[in-house]
C-alpha cells in the first residue's frame, strides 16, 4: 500500500503499508491476550525495527483479555499513558467510536484504493467499521470450531474419521465419553465469561442478539431458547462440567475431555499443549439450523489512537522505505516470512490458518 502510516505497519495489521521516515520516532503499542499474540508482536516489531532503525517500537503492558484491554484504553484516554495504537476486540469498537478516540482510517483506505488486492474485501473491512466509519482494520479474526480427542472418540464407540455433525450427535457421544470414567469428561464448551460461544449457538440457529435496527433484544426468542436448551443438554446428557476457561483448556490438553469448542485462535497453542498425548483433530462446529445459521466472527482490529502530528500519515508522496505487512491474519498459525519482488522491497508476514481434520505437530 502507498500511504497508510507507519503505525499500522509497525503493528502488522492485515494490510500492506509503507513507512515514512521520522527521526527517532517511538511508537507505543498496546495489545491484549499475550498468550496468543506475544510471539507474533515480538517477531513483527523486531523485523520492523531492523528495516527502520530510526523508528522504535515499545510495548505497553499487554492486557489479559479484550475486556481488560478496552477498560485500560478508556482509562488512559487523554493521559500521557495512552498508547499510539492498540488492538481492540471487534465487538468493542463502538466504545471507542462513541468517545471519538480513534483516528478515522476511512480517508487512508480511500486514498490507497487497492484494499481488495491486499486481501481486504468489503466484508473484512466492515468488521472494523462502526456505522460506516472505519474505526480500525481487522488484524486477527477467527471462528469457533470443534476440537476433539480422537482416541476418546474411538474408545467410546465413535468414528474419529466421521466426527459429529449435529449437536444431538455431539451430546450423545459426549455422554458415552463421560461414561468411560477415570475422570474423563465429555465436553468443554465455554458458555460463561462472555457471549461468544453462546452467540455461536444463537447465530447457528438463525437468531441474533438484537433486531436489525437495534431497538429490541431478540436473543430471548425461539433461537435463543434452542441455544439454551443445547447448553442444558450438554450438562445433563453430554458430560459438560463447570470449567473455567483455563481449566477446560488444561483438561482437554491433558486428554481428559472428549470435545472442546474453542476459537481457531487457540489452534497453535492447543497443538503445542497436547503434543503427543493423543490424536488431536478438528472439525466444523455444528449449526442448529444449517439453512439459516452462521457462526460469529471473533478477533480484534488495530486502532490508531495518537493525534500527534509527527506520528500521523503524511500528505506527501510515499516513502521508499520497506514496509511490514500482513495481508491476511488468522493469528494462531506460525508466521511465515517471504519477500516480494515489488519495489521497494517489502517484507510480508503471512499468518494463516485453516481448521483441519488432523492437527500436525509443530516442528
For the cut 80, the answer to whether the pLDDT of residue 74 exceeds it is: yes
Domain 144-284: state its class.
alpha beta
Of 12, 21, 16, give the one whose Cα is nearest residue 85: 12
Instruction: Round to whole Å and give the CA distance between 189 and 325.
Output: 35
Q: Three cell numbers at 18?
A: 509503507
pLDDT digits (tens, 9 = 90+) for 186-237: 999 988 767 889 999 999 999 999 998 889 999 999 999 999 999 999 999 9
pLDDT digits (tens, 9 = 90+) for 106-152: 888 888 878 888 888 888 899 999 988 999 999 888 899 999 999 99
**261 and 146 in contact (C-beta within 8 Å)?**
yes
Give the pLDDT score at 91: 87
Cβ neighbours of residue 176 under 8 Å, at least 6 residues apart?
156, 157, 158, 186
Domain ranges of the chain: 6-142+298-350, 144-284
Mean pLDDT (the chain, rounded): 80
Give the pLDDT score at 321: 30
Same CATH fold assignment for domains 6-142+298-350 and 144-284: yes
Report helix, strand or coil for 48.
helix
Give the pLDDT score at 23: 52
Confidence of residue 269 (pLDDT cuts 50, 70, 90): confident
Residues forming beta bridges with residue 301, ordered by sequence position: 88, 138
Residues forming beta bridges with residue 85, ordered by sequence position: 29, 304
Instruction: Round to whole Å and give the CA distance between 230 and 183.
Output: 23
The average pLDDT across 179-187 equals 96
For the cut 70, the answer to whether the pLDDT of residue 339 exceeds it is: no
**277 and 253 in contact (C-beta within 8 Å)?**
yes
pLDDT digits (tens, 9 = 90+) for 273-294: 999 999 999 999 999 999 999 9
Give the pLDDT score at 277: 96
Fold of 6-142+298-350: D-Maltodextrin-Binding Protein; domain 2 (3.40.190)
- Range name among 224-233, 249-258, 331-340 with the lowest pLDDT average: 331-340
Amino acid at each position: 500500500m502507498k500511504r497508510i502510516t507507519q503505525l499500522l505497519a509497525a503493528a502488522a495489521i492485515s494490510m500492506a503499508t509503507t513507512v515514512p521516515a521520522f527521526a527517532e520516532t517511538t511508537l507505543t503499542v498496546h495489545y491484549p491476550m499475550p498468550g496468543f499474540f506475544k510471539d507474533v508482536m515480538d517477531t513483527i516489531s523486531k523485523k520492523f525495527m531492523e528495516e527502520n532503525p530510526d523508528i522504535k517500537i515499545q510495548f505497553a503492558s499487554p492486557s489479559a483479555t479484550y475486556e481488560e484491554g478496552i477498560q485500560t484504553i478508556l482509562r488512559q484516554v487523554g493521559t500521557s499513558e495512552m498508547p499510539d495504537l492498540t488492538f481492540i476486540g471487534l465487538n468493542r469498537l463502538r466504545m471507542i467510536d462513541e468517545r471519538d478516540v480513534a483516528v478515522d482510517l476511512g480517508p487512508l483506505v480511500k486514498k490507497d484504493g487497492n484494499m481488495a488486492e491486499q486481501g481486504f474485501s468489503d466484508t473484512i473491512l466492515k468488521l472494523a467499521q462502526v456505522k460506516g466509519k472505519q474505526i480500525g482494520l481487522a488484524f486477527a479474526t477467527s471462528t469457533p470450531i470443534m476440537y476433539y480427542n480422537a482416541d476418546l472418540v474411538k474408545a467410546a464407540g465413535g468414528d474419529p474419521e466421521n466426527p459429529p455433525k449435529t449437536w444431538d450427535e455431539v451430546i450423545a457421544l459426549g455422554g458415552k465419553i463421560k461414561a468411560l470414567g477415570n475422570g474423563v469428561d465429555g465436553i468443554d464448551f465455554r458458555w460463561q465469561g462472555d457471549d461468544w460461544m453462546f452467540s455461536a449457538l444463537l447465530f447457528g440457529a438463525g437468531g441474533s442478539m438484537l433486531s436489525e435496527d437495534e431497538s429490541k433484544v431478540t436473543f430471548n426468542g425461539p433461537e435463543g431458547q434452542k441455544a439454551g436448551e443445547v447448553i442444558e443438554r450438554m450438562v445433563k446428557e453430554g458430560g459438560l462440567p463447570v470449567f473455567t476457561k483455563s481449566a477446560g483448556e488444561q483438561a482437554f490438553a491433558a486428554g481428559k475431555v472428549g470435545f472442546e469448542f474453542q476459537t481457531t485462535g487457540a489452534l497453535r497453542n492447543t497443538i503445542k499443549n497436547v503434543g503427543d498425548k493423543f490424536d488431536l483433530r478438528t472439525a466444523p462446529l455444528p449449526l442448529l439450523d444449517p439453512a439459516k445459521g452462521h457462526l460469529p466472527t471473533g478477533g480484534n482490529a488495530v486502532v490508531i489512537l495518537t493525534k500527534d502530528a509527527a506520528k500521523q500519515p503524511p500528505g506527501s508522496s510515499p516513502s521508499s522505505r520497506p514496509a511490514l505487512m500482513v495481508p491476511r491474519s488468522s493469528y494462531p498459525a506460525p508466521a511465515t516470512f517471504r519477500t516480494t519482488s515489488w519495489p521497494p522491497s517489502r517484507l510480508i508476514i503471512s499468518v494463516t490458518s485453516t481448521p483441519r481434520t488432523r492437527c500436525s505437530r509443530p516442528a
